[in-house]
Amino acid sequence: MNTFGERLKELRLEKGLTQTELAKSTGFTQPAIARWENALQIPNVETAIVFAKFFGVTTDYLLGLEN
């Protein structure tokens, strides 16, 4: 189950952002965004917090602990 990656991609697409645009907006690299979205790497807590704040959701939502 890749809830973080699935939700990250879903939120990114809802905002109409490319991976590159999201990377520039959050300070990460495009390859890192791709690895997270494709479940090749699991983000650390600080990374999850950055995305939660950026998208206005909770870390629990991003991690699949709540809907």
CATH number at residue 16: 1.10.260.40
Is-contact 60 54, C-beta < 8 A? no
Buried-state track 5-24, b at ≥16 Cβ within 10 A, e below 16: bebbbebbeeeebebeebbe
- Per the structure, the complete domain to which residue 18 belongs is given by 3-62
Q: Given this model, what pLDDT does residue 66 score?
A: 84
Number of folded domains that form the chain = 1
pTM: 0.91
Token representation of residue 39: 């479940």
Provide the phi-psi class of 57: left if phi over 0, else alpha when psi is between -120 and 50, else beta.
Answer: beta
pLDDT tens, residue by residue, 1-47:
569 999 999 999 999 999 999 999 999 999 999 999 999 998 999 99
Q: Is residue 67 in a domain?
A: no
Q: Given this model, what pLDDT does residue 54 score?
A: 98
